[in-house]
Amino acid sequence: MGTDERFQELLADMKDGVIEYDEDRVKIAAQAVVDEGFDAYVGIMDGLAAGMEVVGELFDSQEYFVPEVLMCADALYGGLDILRPNVDMAGREAIKGEVVIGVVEGDVHDIGKNLVKMMFEVAGFTVHDLGADVPIDDFVEAQISTNSDIVALSAMMTTTMMGMKKAIIKLKEKNPNVMIMLGGAPVTGEIADMFGADGYSENASNAVSEAIKMVGALRKM
């Protein structure tokens, strides 16, 4: 079997392993990518991320639901943990951007945030996850210390959603150029505009495309 053929086989194993939430299959293939000297970055993008893209489509068409997507995410992370330390960034396109992400203070619902975080990581962003129930000042501090391009805020309840408005004011006070993105059940595009956010994500898949647009806009400034 030729080298390219072998690599394609491993990419397919990782892609299908993610789709079928077969963590063992993904890990075995990811380890083989490393051991046999194949490009780990391509492994992430054309294996794991390609699988996750299909998972996203299955989720949108309501064939997969949250439990299945969580299983796929575990399979993906199984591979990512093996491949990421072996990625050679020299000559690659620049990292897409830095993101601080968290669930606003008072709120502990974090499945959505965790899925968005995973999408960002797979897409090549560097993510600083502050977790759930995060005080507004912690978002500000993290943005300053990481110099992140984007701060992504999540809330699931109307009571905690108002914290987003306050967070945006404080974040922009310290750094007017930071891009802020909102997500979560009570949030709509209209509410995001009203609060002064720069972007709004209806779901995990479009969070990444929104974020890429934002970072693109930032880099032009």
Partner 1 sequence: MQHKEADRVPCAPLASGAARRVLGVTYAEYAQDADLAAQSQIQWVELTGSDAVCTFLDLSVEAADYGQEVKFPIEDTPQAVFKHPFITSTDDYARLPVINPRKTTRMSVNLRYLELMVNAIGKQKAVLGFIYGPLSTLSQMRSAEKLFLDCMREPDKVHEGLEIVTQMLLDYVDAQVERGAIGIVMDTLFCSGSIMSRDLWMKMEGPYVERIAQKIHGAGLAIMIHNCGNNPYFDVQIETMKPEAISIAYLPNECPTYADLKKTWGDKVMIVGIIPPSQVLFMGSTSDVKEACKEQIQALAPGGGFLLSSGCEFPPNASLLNAIAMMEAAEEYGRYPIE
Residues in the site for partner 1, rule: CB under 8 A?
21, 62, 65-68, 70-71, 74, 106, 108-111, 114, 132, 157-162, 185-188, 190-191, 194
Closer to partner 1 by CB, 9 or 193: give it.
193
- 199-201 β-sheet, strand order: 126-129, 98-103, 150-154, 179-183, 199-201
Closer to partner 1 by CB, 79 or 184: give it.
184
CB of 135 to partner 1, least distance (A): 13
- Alpha helices in the chain, H assignment, sequence order: 3-19, 23-35, 40-42, 50-60, 66-83, 111-123, 136-146, 158-174, 189-195, 204-220
Q: Are 119 and 207 in contact (CB under 8 A)?
A: yes
CB of 90 to partner 1, least distance (A): 37
CB of 108 to partner 1, least distance (A): 5
CB of 33 to partner 1, least distance (A): 26
Place of tokens 């639901």: 65
CB of 198 to partner 1, least distance (A): 19
Closer to partner 1 by CB, 43 or 163: give it.
163
Closer to partner 1 by CB, 42 or 111: give it.
111
CA distance 111 to 176: 29
Intra-chain end-to-end CA distance of the chain, in Å = 49
Closer to partner 1 by CB, 26 or 150: give it.
26
Using DSSP bridges, classify how beta strands 126-129 and 179-183 pair: parallel, antiparallel or unpaired: unpaired
CB of 2 to partner 1, least distance (A): 38
Q: Are 207 and 123 in contact (CB under 8 A)?
A: no
Closer to partner 1 by CB, 178 or 187: give it.
187
CB of 185 to partner 1, least distance (A): 8
Closer to partner 1 by CB, 89 or 185: give it.
185
The angle that helices 66-83 and 111-123 make with each other, rounded to 10 degrees, is 40
Total residues belonging to the chain? 221
Residue 153: count other Cβ atoms within 10 Å of its Cβ: 31
